[in-house]
Amino acid sequence: MNQYIQPSASTASSRIYDILRKDLVGGRFAAGEKLAINALKEQYQVGLSPLREALNKLAAYGLLIQENQRGFRVPTLSRDELDDIAQMRLALEVMAFEQAIVRGDSAWEADLLAAEHRLKCADMTLDKDDEWERLHTQFHRTLVAPCGSVWLLRFIEQLHDQFDRYRRLGPKMPVIRQELDQQHHELVELALKRDAETARKLLDDHIRKSYDVALQCFLEHG
């Protein structure tokens, strides 16, 4: 097949990795649950080798626990860990956002406006929930994207996934969500104004509010 049209096909292994990552973050598996590999094979219609390779990657990424000779299990949840994750998000995302405000160019400004608009629109159609999650992740990714540090972005992404395991335990909370959505808008405004100091404070507050939501989810449904 033409190389230009299909520069490099994906593999079964990378496909199942993406799917499992999404399902683990989305809470499709119970915390602490032991994964039955044969069942997964059937459920996801995938061979053993690609499945195991994906599970190995997810374990290295932190979305699974691998125990020698006894397979893979979903990490348990704890308040201590949620606190840890939230604290780290606070430190790293604020750091990244400050840098992004310094370094981001006009293309970034456009990306921000676009990401916020997409998120707001998706919010209207409440049925497609996975789509909202995707756009929400994308929005926060855009916020810090031009921070200049590949490793910082990598860590932030990882923490987001971990954080969402908690946040997505419970149902949506319309009241608080509206408040958070309002902050999304304000964050973009402050970024465009390059008001680093106020932006820092607002992102700090935004993450704290998100933490409150996630904590409530954990206490009620974890």
Partner DNA sequence: CTCAGCTAAATAATCGATTTTTTATTTATA
Partner DNA sequence: TATAAATAAAAAATCGATTATTTAGCTGAG
- The reply on whether position 106 binds DNA by CB under 7 A is no
- The reply on whether position 13 binds DNA by CB under 7 A is yes
- The reply on whether position 8 binds DNA by CB under 7 A is yes
**Judged by CB under 7 A, which of 30, 32, 33, 66 binds DNA?**
66
- The reply on whether position 10 binds its own copies by CB under 8 A is yes
Q: How far apart are CA 29 and CA 219, in angstroms?
A: 18
- Select from 5-13, 33-41, 120-128, 171-179 the region that touches its own copies (CB under 8 A): 5-13
Residue 174, classed as helix, strand or coil, is helix
Q: How far apart are CA 74 and CA 222, in angstroms?
A: 13
Cα 19 to Cα 23, 111, 145: the distances in Å are 6, 26, 24
Residue 34, classed as helix, strand or coil, is strand
Q: What amino acid is encoded at 22 in this protein?
A: K
Cβ pair 24, 165 in contact under 8 A: yes
- Name the residues that contact its own copies, by CB under 8 A: 8-11, 13-14, 49, 52-54, 56-62, 67-70, 81, 84-85, 87-88, 91, 95, 148-152, 154-155, 159, 162
- Name the residues that contact DNA, by CB under 7 A: 1, 6, 8-9, 11-13, 34-38, 46-50, 52-53, 66-72
